[in-house]
Chains A and B, each alone.
Chain A
Amino acid sequence: MTSTTPKGKSGWPIRLIAVILLATASDALLSYQVSQWAYGWLPVPASTAAPYVDDLFSLEVGIGAFIFFGCTGFILWSVLFNRAEKYDESDGLPIEGNNKLEVTWTVIPFIIVMILAYQAIHVSETLSALGPKVKYDVEGGLSPDTAIVTGVRDDIGPIDVIARQWSWEFIYPNGVHSSELHLPLDQRANFRMSSEDVIHGFFVPAFRLKQDIVPGSVISYSITPTREGRYRLRDSQFSGAYFSQNQTDVVVESEDMFNAWLKQSAANPLVPGLSPGTALYNERLAKGNKGWATVPPAPPPMVNDPGNPDAPHDA
């Protein structure tokens, strides 16, 4: 690599160093501020996982902002101060390369991304809510219950989470069926997730957690909610015609409230559960089945608590 840096004056280019230091400091301050704003770009944190994810996100936003503002600031500066004059057809300084600089800007990003990778792995392992996927035999008519789940600590559960096109059903150990997921505050709940048709995604933004539910496999998954409230549970994995309707709520409440709900629900008769896709499908049929081909929605699950999808949710 040839280097043809222009001969400068002897001594330190004090003015240039001052400008670089000032620009770097301004970039750092602005990026730090953006990293703090980043916490506000996320829904309210409502699980033990959320603070770890939020801190990692803030860190990444901060580093990302530093790089973005630094690079775009440099481009803007170049465009403002390195423009060719009209009719100036001459060339710029023929600087072809600088090995030290190139090695530096290879090594520094390497160190930054390895720090981020280390931190991401550390957070990922700290969450330890991400359960194993165990296949079971669908063809043999076996239930997901036959899949062995080991090594999962839980205070509540296992709660069966059954995903369908397009509804959610939750079955508690005492036999209560519900269209809404009720969880006690500050207790680790374990789920045994299965799907009856296609891949669905169990996604509660306030918990910062998401898990695909793969048909033919059972997934053991754990969550510890930390904030009372009502939060949206959405299907995150495209699951067909009424995919966007496949959402329900997670209700996080005190242990007493939860136990009261469990007791009350157990006494309720089974009724058709929440299944908004079914209503839309019926409307479609009433209009003469217009639109492109679709799989008819599964019958609504029979549940003790059909839930209240119209209730205001916190996130």
Chain B
Amino acid sequence: MTTTKYDPRVLKAPHPVPGAPDNWKRFFTFNTDAKVIGIQYMGLSLFFLLVGGLLAMVMRGELITPPSDLVDPTVYNGLYTMHGTVMLFLFLFPILNGFNNLLIPTMIGAPDMAFPKVNAAAFWLVPVFSVVLLSSFFVPGGPASAGWWSYPPVSIQNPLGHFLNGEFLWILAVALSGISSILGALNFVTTIIRMRAPGMGFFRMPVFVWTAWAAQTLQLVGLPALTGGAIMLLFDLSFGTSFFRPEGGGDPVLYQHFFWFYSHPAVYVMVLPVFGIFSELITVYSRKPLFGYKFVAIASFIITFLGLIVWVHHMFYSGTPQWMRNIFIVTTMLIAVPTGVKVFAWLGTLWGGKIRLTTPMLFVLGGVVNFILGGVTGIMLGTAPIDIHVGNTYFVVAHFHYIIFNTIGFGIFAGIYHWFPKFTGRMYYEGLGKIHFVLTFIGATLNWLPMHWAGLYGMPRRVASYDPEFAIWNVIASIGAFMLGVASIPFILNIVSSWARGAKASANPWNAIGLEWLLPSPPPAENFEDDVPTVISEPYGYGLGKPLVKDEEYYIRRSMEA
């Protein structure tokens, strides 16, 4: 068993920054405490969840009837482009970085991230590029409207001719987002490798840490391709080069390779930490060790590796030769194996458990059920003949949202509820949480399940109007979308009122096993500071009667007395 000793000398920056306020105002400062940064990420990204959701409401309002009658088609195109961009770059990536900041140091017993100032800088780039992105609503010509994948030549058409245009700002925002993500990834990977508590070998790390590590490695390998593609696109748009411009000898399909080389793995960057959340929570609420822990941990890196060699399945009908289709059919199919291993491990953990249906567990189970459906349709999309029929239709919208919202979104809500007492020191209201789950599950199902049939029947995605035969599916989808909007009300109420007036949380309200639960709620600035526990067992020792760390009673008593 390899162990890496915790080395406090890695830390150079004093944190929190001397003079920083010790109240709610610290969330608006350049604070270097990972837990403050984690909450900064989460607060900002939840705000953008509402912004992105609002854009989606308008879109679903437009699509509730076949003709384009609510907004101009150009406005619709801007709305769906910004919806996708906001949800991915301002909600999903930041909120998962929020979890990483809160959980990685506390789960591995580190006082903070390896580079606290870089960590703060990575966060503060998010509000900067959010302003850049959203200001595009006010430039001549409106925001980018070529979709979140921004394929040329549509994305490099510039009808007004202004240098400052929505697409320009979109590319700039994506590039800044990339810089922020790379800074974050370097920090997370370094922290995991260098700053684990004594005795915490790689196979004693919680699965969330494994999945975050795998996901951030993927960021480091994949992001340069997207950034390179974005810079070349910017040159084509603003300086008249012809990397992708056909009339200058460029090939627009080349951009698709750059884009998908990163953007397919980007889904794994988002879903892997959620697999980690599922694994953590299923063990706690089933009171069982994670079945096949090592298989699950290793499967994360197999997904990382395979995720980098499947991108062409997004381009089966882009003039891709048959031999290349065949290779990418096989690699795409293979991804189902390590993901299947994880699902079966979760089922194995449920077997014979003592299951508690708390709000986090409900979101986990709902997320797993949705992921199985999204995974099944993902396999279909990996087979070229089916993909050729349903690709670029609402079937893909359905599949994508089953993964992005119904799996990742559910995992995020589960994680928020589960670790809310730990990081705020307050309990959430269980009743409101359950109302939130029920409304979300029904709303999400109504929203995205019917889209499968619309897509199979041939309704293209990204349309502002459609033939009347698709109306019924769209009416149901819009009702579901509005229900999701309503579902956000109990969630917001719960978070705000619980944080302000909720019952005080104990150090370990779920009776969970893990280093973070040996800290007081909320944890102090540098977690265990210089008194880092020595890990002596594998994680998830439910029912085994073995302590996780040496002198566990001492840490439990200390956390409760704090």
| Residue ranges of A at the interface with B (Cβ–Cβ < 8 Å) | 1, 4, 41-43, 49, 52-53, 56-57, 60-61, 64-65, 67-68, 71-72, 74-75, 78-79, 82-84, 88-98, 101-102, 105-106, 109-110, 113-114, 116-117, 119-121, 123-125, 127, 130, 132-133, 135, 137-139, 197-199, 201, 203, 205-206, 208-212, 214-217, 219, 232, 234-245, 280, 284, 290-296, 315
Return chain B residues, CB-CB under 8 Å to A90: 287, 354
Chain B positions within 8 Å of A214 at CB level = 246, 251-253, 318-319
Contact of B291 among A95, A125, A135, A205 (CB under 8 A): A95
Interface centre among B330, B343, B388, B543 (most CB of A within 10 A): B388
Q: Closest residue of chain B to A60, judged by CB? A: B380
A244 with B73: CB separation less than 8 A: yes
From B68, B326, B334, give the contact of A124 (CB < 8 A). B326
CB of B372 closer than 8 Å to a CB of A: yes
Complex Cα–Cα for A60 and B383 (A)? 10
Number of residues in B with C-beta < 8 Å to the partner? 107
Question: Given the complex of chains A and B, what is the CA–CA distance between A210 and B543 in angstroms?
Answer: 55
A295 and B348 contacting across the interface, CB-CB below 8 Å = no
Question: Interface segment, B104-112, B231-239, B292-300?
Answer: B292-300
Contact check, B463 vs A210: say whether CB atoms are below 8 A apart.
no
Whether B344 and A92, one on each chain, are in contact in the complex, defined by CB atoms closer than 8 angstroms, is no
The residues of B that contact A125 with a CB separation of less than 8 Å are 322
Does B486 sit within 8 A of A, measured CB to CB?
Answer: no
Pair B159/A291 contact, Cβ less than 8 Å: no
User: Using a CB-CB cutoff of 8 Å, which residues 285-331 of chain B contact chain A?
Assistant: 286-295, 317-322, 325-326, 329-330
Flag if A216 contacts B252 (CB, 8 Å).
yes
Give a binary string over B353-365; 1 marks a CB under 8 Å from any A CB, 0 the rest: 1111100000001
Whether B337 lies near A243 (C-beta < 8 A) is no
List B residues 65-96 near A (Cβ within 8 Å).
68, 71-75, 77-78
| B458 is an interface residue with CB less than 8 A from chain A | yes
CB distance from A73 to the nearest CB of B (A): 10
Pairs A–B under 8 Å by Cβ, sample size 17: A1-B292, A53-B385, A60-B386, A71-B369, A78-B347, A78-B353, A88-B354, A92-B542, A96-B292, A121-B326, A124-B325, A124-B326, A124-B384, A203-B458, A215-B246, A216-B246, A217-B253
**B465 to chain A: closest residue by CB:** A244
Residues on A with C-beta less than 8 A from B389 are 42, 53, 57, 205, 208-210
Question: Considering residues A93, A234, A238, A242, which has the most beta carbons from chain B within 10 angstroms of its beta carbon?
Answer: A238
CB-based contact A79/B72 at 8 Å: no
Cβ contacts under 8 Å, A78 to chain B: 347, 350-351, 353, 355
CA distance in complex: A27, B378 (Å): 21
Given contacts A92-B353, A212-B317, contact A198 B154 (CB under 8 A): yes
In the complex with contacts A120-B383, A120-B384, A120-B385, A219-B291 CB distance below 8 A: no
In Å, the complex CA distance between A241 and B463 comes to 10
Q: Are B336 and A109 in contact (CB under 8 A)?
A: yes
Q: A210 to B391, Cβ gap below 8 A?
A: yes
B429-445 CB contact bits vs A (8 Å, 1 = yes)?
A: 00000000000000000
- What is the CA–CA distance of A4 and B461 in the complex, to the nearest angstrom? 51
Once the chains bind, are A93 and B288 in contact (CB under 8 Å)? yes
CB distance from B99 to the nearest CB of A (A): 24
| B75 / chain A contacts, CB cutoff of 8 Å | 291-292
Minimal beta-carbon separation of A150 from chain B (angstroms): 14
Q: Is A74's CB under 8 angstroms from B73's CB?
A: no
Residue from A41, A83, A235, A292 in contact with B456 in the complex, judged by beta carbons closer than 8 Å = A41
Is B141's CB under 8 angstroms from A293's CB? yes
In the bound assembly, the distance between CA atoms of A43 and B326 in angstroms comes to 26
The answer, among A72, A212, A240, for a CB contact under 8 Å with B154, is A240
Contact of A292 among B145, B368, B392, B543 (CB under 8 A): B145
Within the assembled complex, what's the spacing in Å between the Cα atoms of A84 and B355?
5
Name the distance in Å between B178's Cβ and chain A's nearest Cβ.
23
For the complex formed, measure the closest distance between the CB of A304 and the CB atoms of chain B, giving whole angstroms: 26
Cα A15 to Cα B351 in complex, Å, equals: 17
Known contacts A41-B453, A74-B350, A105-B340; A241/B357 CB under 8 A: no
| CB-based contact B147/A238 at 8 Å | yes
User: Smallest CB–CB gap between A101 and chain B, Å?
Assistant: 7
Q: Say yes or no: A236 contacts B460, CB within 8 Å.
A: yes
Q: Is B505 an interface residue (CB 8 A)?
A: no
Q: Known interface pairs A82-B354, A113-B336. Does A209 touch B388 (Cβ–Cβ under 8 Å)? A: yes
Question: Could you say which residues of chain B place their CB within 8 Å of the CB of A41?
Answer: 453, 456-457
Q: Does B184 contact A (CB under 8 A)?
A: no
Q: B461 contacts which chain A residues (CB < 8 A)? A: 238
Q: How far is the CA of A94 from the CA of B283 in the complex (A)?
A: 10
Decide if B26 is an interface residue (CB 8 Å cutoff): no
Assembly CA distance A210 to B353 (angstroms): 48
Closest Cβ neighbor of A117 among chain B residues: B333
Q: Which of B160, B166, B319, B333 contacts A212, CB < 8 Å?
A: B319
Give complex CA distance A232, B393 in Å: 14
Cβ of B143 under 8 Å from chain A: yes
Q: List 5 tightest A-B contacts by C-beta distance, closest first.
A: A133-B319, A205-B458, A216-B246, A292-B142, A94-B543
Which residues of the other chain, A, contact B320 by a CB distance below 8 angstroms?
133
CA distance A110 to B355 in the complex (A): 30
Given contacts A105-B340, A214-B251, A291-B74, 19 further A-B pairs with CB under 8 A are A4-B544, A41-B456, A43-B457, A60-B376, A60-B380, A64-B379, A78-B350, A79-B355, A95-B289, A95-B348, A96-B544, A97-B295, A116-B379, A120-B329, A130-B322, A210-B392, A215-B153, A284-B72, A293-B142
Given contacts A82-B353, A293-B141, A293-B159, contact A94 B74 (CB under 8 A): no
B-chain residues with CB within 8 Å of residue A121 when the two chains form the complex: 325-326, 329-330, 384
The answer to whether B352 and A89 touch across the interface, beta carbons within 8 angstroms, is no
Closest Cβ of chain B to A199, distance in Å, is 6
Task: Specify which chain A residues have a CB less than 8 angstroms from the CB of B356 in the assembled complex.
Answer: 83-84
Q: Is B524 an interface residue (CB 8 A)?
A: no
**Contact A241 to B465, CB < 8 A, known contacts A75-B365, A97-B295:** no
CA distance A113 to B165 in the complex (A): 46
Query: CB distance A236 to B391 under 8 Å?
Result: yes
Assembly CA distance A84 to B285 (angstroms) = 9
Instruction: Give complex CA distance A102, B353 in Å.
Output: 18
Q: Does B241 interact with chain A (Cβ within 8 Å)?
A: no
Check if A96 sits within 8 Å of B295, measured CB to CB: no
CB distance from A9 to the nearest CB of B (A): 16
- Give chain A residues whose Cβ lies under 8 Å from the Cβ of B317: 130, 201, 210-212
Interface membership of B194, Cβ < 8 A: no
B3 on interface, CB distance cutoff 8 Å: no
Asked if B467 is an interface residue, CB under 8 A from chain A, the answer is yes
Q: How distant is the Cα of A132 from the Cα of B74 in the complex, in angstroms? A: 33
Q: Are B153 and A199 in contact (CB under 8 A)?
A: yes
* A286, B251: Cα distance in complex, Å: 37
Q: Closest chain B residue to A66 by CB distance?
A: B376
A215 to B543, CA, bound (A): 63
| Distance in angstroms between the alpha carbons of A92 and B286 in the assembled complex | 7
Q: How far is the CB of B397 from chain A (nearest CB, A)?
A: 12
CA distance A56 to B341 in the complex (A): 25
- Chain A residues near B157 (CB-CB < 8 A): 198, 240, 295
> Least Cβ distance of A282 to chain B in Å?
13
Which residues of A are found within 8 Å of B22, using beta-carbon distances? none
Are the CB atoms of A71 and B343 closer together than 8 Å?
yes
Residues of B with C-beta under 8 A to A42: 389, 456-457
CB distance A97 to B292 under 8 Å? yes
